[in-house]
Amino acid sequence: MKTWIQSTLTAGLAIAVLSAGVTVSQTASAEGVKEYQQVAAHHGNKKKMAIVAARRASMKAISKANKAMKAAAKAGNAQLVIQASNIIIKQANRMPQMFPKGTSRAKLGAKATRSKAAIWKNWKKFITANNKMWAAASTVAAAAKSGNAKAGAKGIGKTCGGCHKPFRGKKAKKS
Ligand code: HEC
């Protein structure tokens, strides 16, 4: 997962550098400069959109892992509970880096992302909400490691709203 994100980001950067290089060497006229700026802005957004795609994929992975964890807890499968909780822990660990500045809904548009600008205005609160999910998943993993596959299984899902309510906007209307 991490490697996927890194390669996506690197690919995005490589394209931006490549196009920038080509445009600059092509022309130095005012028109060329304008074109260069447009290309740069376009590719800048492309990189941001790759990060948005990555964090949305991360959220889906969290959601999937939480469902798998609850099913495994019900079945008393401690090994699977540990595995699923670890996915959530890992995603929580990389959450801060998946929300770089300039990737809010206000900046990228309502259809591009549901991440409210409030995230960056209340960064500490955002991190605290993330830490709560991390802690809930760690509790579940620790209990499962000591043989209790069911303890705290419902706790992780209770932490999602603590972040979604203040920081995630409504789905964009389809046009
Ligand atoms: C620290 C904040 C935070 C926590 C904790 C969090 N989320 Fe999210 N989640 C977000 C934000 C912000 C978005 C919007 C992402 C975007 O569109 O840029 C989101 C989007 C999503 C999405 C939509 C993904 C898509 O397809 O666009 C799902 C599903 C989701 N979260 C599930 C969960 C579940 C399940 C949990 C708890 C187990 C959880 N999230 C915990 C912040 C959080």
Does the CA dihedral 63-67-72-78 come out positive or negative?
A: positive
Q: What is the pLDDT of residue 63?
A: 98
Could you tell me the pLDDT band of residue 22, with boundaries at 50, 70 and 90? very low
- Buried-state track 24-40, b at ≥16 Cβ within 10 A, e below 16: eeeeeeeeeeeebeebe
Closest ligand 1 atom to 129 CA: 1
Q: What is the pLDDT of residue 44?
A: 72
Percent of the chain topping pLDDT 70: 75
Could you tell me the pLDDT band of residue 30, with boundaries at 50, 70 and 90? low
Torsion of CA 100, 104, 110, 112, to 10 degrees: -10
With a cut of 60, say whether residue 130 has pLDDT above it.
Answer: yes
Q: What is the pLDDT of residue 133?
A: 98
Contact 138, 76 (CB under 8 A): no
Could you tell me the pLDDT band of residue 45, with boundaries at 50, 70 and 90? confident
Could you tell me the pLDDT band of residue 28, with boundaries at 50, 70 and 90? very low
Q: Which of 55, 59, 123 is the pocket-test mutation for ligand 1 (most atoms within 8 Å of CB)?
A: 59
Q: What is the pLDDT of residue 173?
A: 86
Q: Output the ligand 1 site: residues, CB below 6 A.
A: 52, 55-56, 59-60, 62-63, 66, 95, 113-115, 126, 129-130, 133, 156-157, 159-160, 163-164, 167-168
Q: Which of 67, 107, 134, 168 is the pocket-test mutation for ligand 1 (most atoms within 8 Å of CB)?
A: 168
